[in-house]
Amino acid sequence: MAADPLAGDPGAITRLSSALADHQDDIRTGAHHVASALHDADGWEGASKDRFTTTVGTIAPAAQRIISRLDAAIDVLDTYAEAVRQIQDEADRIQAAQLTNAVDSIANAVSLGSAQSTAAGSDATEADDRRVDRLQTDADDLAAAAKRLDAEWDALVERRAAADRTAAAGLTDSEVLGVAVGYAGALAAMSDADFLRAVAGMPPEVLAAQDEAVADRIAGMPSEVVQAWWDGLGGRGTAGEHSAAQDALITALPAVIGNLNGVPYWARDQANRLSAQRAYVQAKEAVKAAKKDLKTAIGRTAQLAAQQKLNAAERRYDQLKNFVAGVRTGLNGVDGMPRQMVSFSDAQPPLGAISIGDLDTADNVSYLVPGMGTTLQDTTVLMRASANVAATQRLSEAGQNTAMVSWIGYEAPGNVLTTGDPGVFGESHARAGAERLADDLGGFRAIRPDTTLNVVAHSYGSTTAAITLHDHPELGVHSFVTHGSAGIPNSIPDAAATNADHVYSAQAEERWNVAHIGRSLSYPQRLDPTDSDFGSTVIDASGADRSPAVDVHDLIVNPDGDPDADHGYLDLDTNTLLETAKATLR
């Protein structure tokens, strides 16, 4: 389509440019506050400061680069506004001339017609003929002028098209975008190695601006490729000491790096904290918006829909709030053990895992897989159960360097007792969850091939974990411990079929017989791992050696260790807790 020399508003283009200049001021102000924070941190020294300094040091140069790119965009817009203004002025002049020419041509045509008529009359004079000649000459001159004006207009159309092309090219130039336009296309054609090298060379704010395809390609890389790439960026690194390229990747692509198998867990932790914090802030805003919508909803149908939207927003907010709290909530007996956000997925429902202990250095790592009704809203409760195991492990010499992962990495079926959801009787949630667990355990194995790996599973979590272990013997699981199992799929007929070196199982006399009901009503019918035919080592949950008996289906219901209160499988002082700790250390 031909360019329109009169299109657009140079004043509005100039205002765009001014708004970008205002934006630069905001970036400068923000960077100034960051510089103040760095200055304020002068009195802070130690390992915690190192991590702070590394990241804070990336902001000022990034802000400066962003300001420079805005400068380039402002130049493009200012030049373009001036060009459009000149073209429009010229267009106005040409159009005015064309109008005058058209009016003159019409008047001349009328006069010429009249003069020709007079000159053709019987009483015509020489003067009439001369008038016709003069008017004909005028008509020729006007036609020539019209042609010249048309040519000038065509040239102006081309000039405007050129100005548009220059502006469009300028706004997508590498000086403005920080990376050449079409770079993602070029990246797509690269080998994995070249692609990863190119990605690692990008400044963080530019990397963050790349489209989804870049993130998707990194996320799909095999763990051994990722591991070699990461190590090539300055070694494995630690939370306190790592390269600027590694830091750029963590901050620019947190959702990818946080779940990328092959990346060390300290980096995943930092990335996931960033992603989870962002999701939490968004969830908080979603609740505010949903409350506002409910207030303004008119009519029963609209109010019902708004209420449902608010309920869903609040549910999600509660889940994310508890997950974010998991890395700092107070836990007994695990002082000095670091915590890591091992994974986080901002999905529906959100999923994630938090470790007590350092997965990059622990000698012995156990994943705790929960059962029905578990969501991220249960993170801190599950972590208290994990803390009890870790604290009990620490009582022995072999348990000084362990880690317990509270893994809420699958969508567990709803609690049938409170929601009526019959999903716990089927296997679909377990099969989907088993794949996710296999992926996470496989990711761990990829970078920690020689570490002792255990799985402790509760209720429906044992159904899920059993499928993972059966389908993936390469995971090399040392001990598989089940508590109140909702049943092992009958395609896994015995302990040996789980491929774990050791299998331990506990089944308490639970109030309401929750686990028993789960197994009895399961379809296909699932197995009780404490049956003698199954071949598991049975853990006594009835109160051995003066320990309190487990009497409810939960993992933990008695945080204060009250001997007269109910006890879950991983409550303090229970034999099931002690034996779980021992089983994972054998």
Of the candidate residues 131, 135, 200, 205, the single one contacting another protein (CB under 8 A): 205
Containing 157, the helix (H) or strand (E) segment is: helix 126-171
Residues 74-133 that bind another protein (CB under 8 A): 80, 84
Interaction between residue 286 and another protein (CB under 8 A): no
Tell which residue, 518, 279, 527, 552, has the closest CA to residue 413. Answer: 518
Residues 563-582 that bind another protein (CB under 8 A): none
Listed residue (175, 171, 156) closest to 2, CA to CA: 156
- Least CB distance to another protein at residue 342 (A): 17
Do residues 456 and 481 touch, judged by C-beta distance below 8 A? yes
Q: Which of 176, 245, 256, 527 binds another protein (CB under 8 A)?
A: 176
Site for another protein in 49-68 (CB under 8 A): 49-52, 55-56, 58-59, 62-63, 66
- Distance from C-alpha of 353 to C-alpha of 327, rounded to nearest angstrom: 10
Binding part of the chain for another protein, among 114-122, 250-258, 418-426, 478-486 by CB under 8 A, reads 250-258
Task: Report d(CA 326, CA 316) in Å as an integer.
Answer: 16
Residues 401, 362: contact at Cβ < 8 Å? yes
Select 88 or 393, whichever has its Cβ closest to another protein.
Answer: 88
Distance, CA of 33 to CA of 49 (rounded, Å): 18
Q: Which of residues 139-168 bind another protein (CB under 8 A)?
A: 160, 164-165, 167-168
Tokens of 313: 């927003």
| Selected range binding another protein among 249-257, 313-321, 355-363, 475-483, rule: CB under 8 A | 249-257
CB of 219 to another protein, least distance (A): 18
| DSSP for residue 263 | B
What does the alpha-carbon distance between residue 463 and residue 452 come to, in Å, rounded to a whole number?
Answer: 22
Nearer to another protein, 19 or 110 (CB): 19
342 touches 359 (CB < 8 A): yes
Q: Retrieve residue 71's tokens.
A: 């400068």
Sign of CA dihedral 381, 383, 384, 386: positive
One residue of 94, 101, 108, 178 binding another protein per CB under 8 A: 178
| Spatial separation of the C-alpha atoms in residues 183 and 185, rounded to whole Å | 5
- Closer CB to another protein, residue 238 or residue 451? 238
CB of 63 to another protein, least distance (A): 6
- Comparing CB distances to another protein, the nearer of 34 and 124 is 34
DSSP string, 526-540: PB-TTSGGGTPEEEP
Question: CB–CB of 518/482 below 8 Å?
Answer: no
Beta-carbon contacts of residue 176 (< 8 Å; ≥ 6 apart): 69, 72, 73, 76, 170
Q: In sequence order, what DSSP letters do the residues of 404-418 get, joined into one string?
A: EEEEE-S-PPP-HHH
Pick the closer one to another protein by CB: 205 or 440. Answer: 205
Interstrand relation of 502-506 and 537-539 (parallel, antiparallel or unpaired) = parallel
With CB under 8 A as the contact rule, the residue among 2, 43, 301, 418 that binds another protein is 43
Task: Say how far residue 57 (Cα) sits from the centre of its chain.
Answer: 23
The 332-351 site mask, x for binding another protein (CB under 8 A), equals ---x----------------
Whole-number Å distance between alpha carbons of 353 and 346: 12
Separation between Cα atoms, residue 416 and residue 418, nearest integer Å: 6
Residue 412: exposure state from Cβ atoms within 10 A (0-12, 13-18, ≥19)? buried
Specify which residues 479 forms β-bridges with. 502
Of the residues 125, 172, 490, 525, which one makes contact with another protein according to CB under 8 A: 172
Q: What part of residues 288-327 is at the interface with another protein (CB under 8 A)? A: 327
Q: With respect to another protein, which residue has the nearer C-beta, 24 or 505? A: 24
Q: From the CB of 106, what's the least distance to another protein, in Å?
A: 31
CB nearer to another protein: pick between 58 and 462: 58
Nearest to 156 by CA among 81, 102, 104, 95: 95
Q: Measured from the CB of residue 519, what is the shortest distance to another protein in angstroms?
A: 41
Asked whether position 208 contacts another protein by CB under 8 A, the answer is: yes
- Stretch of residues binding another protein (CB under 8 A), selected from 37-45, 130-138, 420-428, 456-464: 37-45
- Shorter beta-carbon distance to another protein: residue 18 or 100: 18
Closest CB to another protein among 267 and 497?
267
Place of tokens 């990034």: 62
Give the residue with the Cβ less far from another protein, 280 or 480.
280
The site that binds another protein (CB under 8 A) totals a number of residues, namely 77
* Segment 4 to 23, residues that bind another protein, using CB under 8 A: 4, 7-9, 12-13, 15-16, 19-20, 23
Q: Report in angstroms how near the CB of residue 335 gets to another protein at its nearest.
A: 7
Local structure of 488: helix, strand or coil: strand
What radius of gyration do the chain's Cα atoms show? Answer: 37
Using CB under 8 A as the binding rule, the residues of this chain from 185 to 204 that contact another protein are 204
DSSP state of 216: H
Piece in contact with another protein (CB under 8 A), picked from 48-56, 96-104, 256-264, 304-312: 48-56
Q: Which of 30, 201, 422, 473 binds another protein (CB under 8 A)?
A: 30
Among 145, 157, 181, 225, binds another protein (CB under 8 A): 181
- What is the footprint of another protein within residues 254-283 (CB under 8 A)? 254, 270, 273-274, 277-278, 281
> Segment 442-501, which members bind another protein (CB under 8 A)?
none
- For another protein, the closer of residues 36 and 114 by Cβ is 36
